[in-house]
C-alpha cells in the first residue's frame, strides 16, 4: 500500500468525531478546522496540497492542484499530523455540523470515490484529494452543487461527513435513482451522474424543489444525506428574516413571552 495504514473509531451520535490511531511515523491529513485534540508526541505540520505522490509533480503541478482546490472552496493548504514518538498515539477530528462521519476504504471501491465538494474531513497520508468536473454539458450548466465535486483516490482510509442521517444505497446495473443534488454525499466511480429537468408547469412554478434533479445510474454505491448544510443554512436564515405569524394575533408579544421568545 502507498497510503499509511491507520486504525480508527467513530464516537458520538449527532455530533460525531473520529479517533485515528497512529503507529510511529504514520501520518493523517485533514482539512483546516477539522482538528479536535491529539496526544503528546504527534507533530502538526501545514503542507501545500495533500502530500500524496500524485501531487509531487514539481512547482507547476502543485500550483495547478492548489488552484483546483480553490474551486471547491477549500484552502490551498492542508494539515499533516505525524506520530514522531515510539508508541501508538491518537488524534481526533470533528465533523463541522450535525450529522454522520462515513469511513471509506478506497481499496474496497476501486481506488476512487467522488464526493460533494465540502464533504472531505480527513484521510491517511497517501490519499489524493482532487477535483472532479462533471463532463456533460447539461450537468455543467444546471448541476448546481453537483457540478464541481471532490475525488478521493488511493488505497487508504478516507473520512467524509454528511448532514443529518446517512442512507447507503446500492444500485444494480442500469438502475436509476433521482435525487436532489445537495443530498448526494458520495458515490463510487462507476456511477453515471446526470441532470434531469423536473417537467410539468405546476412542478416548475409551484413545486419548490428546483427545476432540476440529479440522476444516478448504476452499478455502484451512493451515500445520501437527509439534511444538506445548504438547506439547513437556508432555513435558519429564513427563520431569522421574517416575523412570526402570531405577532399579528391578539396575543402578540405576550404570546412570545409565554413560549420563551420574549425579550
pLDDT-based confidence at residue 124 (cuts at 50, 70, 90) = very high
Task: Read off the DSSP letter of residue 218.
Answer: S
Using CA atoms, how far residue 149 sits from 21, 28, 114, 153, 198, in Å, is 29, 22, 7, 13, 22
* Ordered structural domains, the chain, with CATH: 7-238 (3.60.160.10)
pTM: 0.79
Return the pLDDT at 143.
47
69 or 87, higher pLDDT:
87
Using CA atoms, how far residue 66 sits from 43, 57, 60, 78, 120, in Å, is 23, 12, 10, 10, 16
Is pLDDT of 207 > 50? no
Return the pLDDT at 104.
95
In this predicted model, what pLDDT tens digit does every residue of 8-39 receive, in sequence order? 999 998 889 999 999 999 999 998 889 999 99
Return the pLDDT at 15.
87
Strand 166-171 and strand 192-197: the pairing is: unpaired
Q: Write down the H helix ranges in 188-252.
A: 201-206, 229-241
pLDDT-based confidence at residue 262 (cuts at 50, 70, 90) = very low
Closest residue by Cα to residue 106 from 189, 26, 165: 189
Mean pLDDT of 216-222: 95
Is pLDDT of 193 > 60? yes
Mean pLDDT of 46-72: 63
Closest residue by Cα to residue 228 from 113, 169, 146: 146
Mean pLDDT of 103-110: 94
Q: Give the other-Cβ count within 10 Å of 177's Cβ.
A: 16
Is pLDDT of 44 > 60? yes
In this predicted model, what pLDDT tens digit does every residue of 151-166 receive, in sequence order? 999 999 999 999 999 9
Phi, psi of 229 (to 5 degrees): -65, -30
Amino acid at each position: 500500500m502507498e497510503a499509511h495504514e491507520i486504525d480508527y473509531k467513530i464516537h458520538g451520535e449527532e455530533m460525531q468525531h473520529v479517533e485515528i490511531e497512529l503507529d510511529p511515523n504514520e501520518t493523517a491529513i485533514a482539512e483546516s478546522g477539522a482538528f479536535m485534540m491529539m496526544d503528546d508526541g504527534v507533530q502538526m505540520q501545514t503542507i501545500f496540497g495533500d502530500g500524496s505522490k500524485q501531487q509531487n509533480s514539481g512547482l507547476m503541478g502543485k500550483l495547478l492542484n492548489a488552484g483546483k482546490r480553490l474551486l471547491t472552496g477549500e484552502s490551498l493548504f492542508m494539515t499533516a499530523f505525524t506520530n514522531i514518538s515510539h508508541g501508538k498515539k491518537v488524534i481526533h477530528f470533528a465533523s463541522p455540523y450535525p450529522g454522520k462521519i462515513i469511513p471509506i476504504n478506497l481499496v474496497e471501491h476501486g481506488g476512487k470515490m467522488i464526493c460533494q465538494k465540502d464533504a472531505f474531513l480527513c484521510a491517511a497520508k497517501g490519499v489524493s484529494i482532487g477535483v472532479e468536473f462533471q463532463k456533460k454539458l447539461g450537468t455543467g450548466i444546471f448541476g448546481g452543487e453537483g457540478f464541481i465535486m471532490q475525488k478521493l483516490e488511493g488505497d487508504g482510509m478516507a473520512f467524509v461527513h454528511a448532514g443529518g442521517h446517512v442512507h447507503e444505497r446500492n444500485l444494480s446495473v442500469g438502475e436509476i435513482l433521482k435525487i436532489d443534488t445537495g443530498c448526494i454525499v458520495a458515490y463510487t466511480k462507476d456511477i453515471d451522474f446526470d441532470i434531469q429537468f423536473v417537467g410539468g408547469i405546476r412542478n416548475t412554478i409551484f413545486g419548490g424543489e428546483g427545476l432540476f434533479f440529479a440522476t444516478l445510474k448504476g452499478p455502484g454505491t451512493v451515500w445520501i444525506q437527509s439534511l444538506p448544510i445548504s438547506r439547513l443554512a437556508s432555513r435558519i436564515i429564513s427563520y431569522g428574516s421574517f416575523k412570526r405569524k402570531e405577532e399579528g394575533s391578539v396575543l402578540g408579544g405576550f404570546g412570545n413571552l409565554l413560549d420563551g421568545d420574549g425579550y
